[in-house]
Amino acid sequence: MRRRRILSYLLVIWMTFLLAFPLTSAFASSKVYHIPIHNEVERGLHAFLERAFKEAEENNAEAIILDIHTPGGFVNAAGDIAMLMDATDIRKIAYINKDAHSAGAFLALHADEIYMVPNGTIGAAAVIDSAGNAADLKAHSAWVAQMEAAAESKKRDPKYARAMADVSVDLPEFRAGEGNLLTLSASEAEKVGYSDGTVSNFQDLLKATQIDERDIVPIEPTFAEKLARFITNPIIVPILLSIASLGLVVELYSPGFGVPGIMGLSALGLFFFGHMVAGLAGYETLLLFIVGLALVIAEFFVPGGIVGILGGALILLSLILAGANMMQMIIAIFIAFVVAIIGMVILMKFFGKKLHVLNKLVLMDATTTEEGYVSNVNRTELLGKVGKAITPLRPAGTMLFGSERIDVVSEGGYVDAGNHVEVIKVEGSRIVVRRTEKEMEE
């Protein structure tokens, strides 16, 4: 019995030792994180990779395998991801599982090792602007330098990295004569030292890198991260803002608050959700938008217009600050504004809609004659009648017509009292007369 108790104590001490000392880290250090880099390289991808790298570091991972298949993407996002890769000491393996073009090639060059599938390619990394045209000289020069630096940092010949981004480099032996960008096949990349080997599949990669299959930890983007990647795409942003502006415009022409307003606010909510998950916008940007929206709503109760203008300015500022690129956001907002104007024109011209919201801001009722309202008597029956000026007309004065005294205005000149005058014009309460030789009617 005593012996069993001693063994129990020893077992507890041994378990405590296992939990207290870094033997768990030894197990964790054998983990290899398998992280996909697919589709476009953009800010949403950076947010996902930031989470994945942090998790790998916290668990003392042995290596990170980046499964790359991308046509490229945005230079600023690629630069941030490259900084993320350089900041970790974990072994980084780029597995080019088909194509690593443009920003994808740039990221692959930041890996410690590169492996490619037989039909994989790497290169074609010229920087282009948002319109699809070649970037200006300043941006081009900076990008070429970054490509060369990425190759040099991993002891690769920078000549080929430069040829991937600069058409002036002449490498005819790789179909990259002057005027063409360099794109290397798997065998060519291995030949020039831009690949450490060609593997048929992921299992072959594990054998080539001496990684046990049981150590692989697959990391996939969450639903929120996938949604953020979709929402923050520069093509989707103007569409989302256009839906928001159109929905809110239609709501202005509708009584009460209904589906169009919900649609508009939902689009704006998605915009901020995606940009906050991607790390582009913070709570202060969202707060700025909420304050702006509150001021616009307050304009319905506080006349003057200043509050509404300030609120609109804050909303625009919050949208611009939330974007990855200020100029792209300004263009997206302009597109949404044009869509809103077109929507207003269609609603008014083709559907005869009226701006119901103005009923709370502006008095829309009119006291027209057609509705029985008369501000003064229109004495059109006096036209052509002759009366006598009983006061001098300088030019205003009084005339006598029958037994009625009428305030009149002479056509221009002075008319002395006692002269006959003829009514030549009646404009509401303004009666214009002219001196005449006609006799006054009795």
Element (H, E) at 190: helix 186-191
pLDDT at residue 153, rounded to an integer: 94
* Amino acid identity for residue 380 in this structure: T
Q: What is the tens place of the pLDDT at every residue in 162-192? A: 999 999 999 999 999 888 999 999 999 999 9
**DSSP secondary structure code for residue 362 in this structure:** S
Element (H, E) at 65: strand 63-70
- CA 426, 429, 430 angle in degrees (round to 5)? 55
Q: How far from 105 is each of 45, 101, 146, CA to CA, in Å?
A: 15, 5, 12
Q: Angle, nearest 10°, between helix axes 326-349 and 236-252?
A: 30
User: Is residue 244 a contact partner of residue 264, using CB atoms and an 8 Å limit?
Assistant: yes
User: Is residue 56 a contact partner of residue 33, using CB atoms and an 8 Å limit?
Assistant: yes
pLDDT at residue 367, rounded to an integer: 53
Element (H, E) at 78: helix 75-86
Q: What is the tens place of the pLDDT at every residue in 357-396? A: 544 444 445 555 555 555 566 777 788 888 888 888 888 8
In whole angstroms, give the CA distance from residue 343 to residue 383: 50
pLDDT at residue 90, rounded to an integer: 95
Q: What is the pTM of this model?
A: 0.64
Find the radius of gyration of the CA atoms of the chain.
40
pLDDT at residue 228, rounded to an integer: 84
The overall average pLDDT reported for the chain is: 82
Q: Is the dihedral of CA 274, 278, 283, 286 positive or negative?
A: negative
Lowest model confidence (mean pLDDT) among 284-288, 296-300, 407-411, 413-417: 296-300
**Residues paired with residue 387 on neighbouring β-strands, in sequence order:** 421
Phi-psi region of 365 (alpha: psi -120 to 50; beta: other; left: phi over 0): beta
pLDDT surpassing 90 at residue 32: yes
Q: How far from 362 is each of 252, 294, 305, 346, CA to CA, in Å?
A: 14, 20, 12, 23
Mean pLDDT confidence for 316-326: 85
* Spatial CA neighbour of 387 closest among 371, 372, 374, 404: 404
Q: What is the tens place of the pLDDT at every residue in 100-132? A: 999 999 999 999 999 999 999 999 998 876 555
Mean pLDDT confidence for 42-65: 91
* Spatial CA neighbour of 441 closest among 421, 426, 424, 427: 421
Helices (H), 219-325: 223-231, 236-252, 259-277, 283-298, 306-322
pLDDT at residue 233, rounded to an integer: 81
- CA 232, 273, 262 angle in degrees (round to 5)? 110
pLDDT at residue 149, rounded to an integer: 96
Q: What is the tens place of the pLDDT at every residue in 59-106? A: 999 999 999 999 998 888 899 999 999 999 999 999 999 999 999 999
Tokens of 102: 């443009």
Tokens of 99: 């194509």
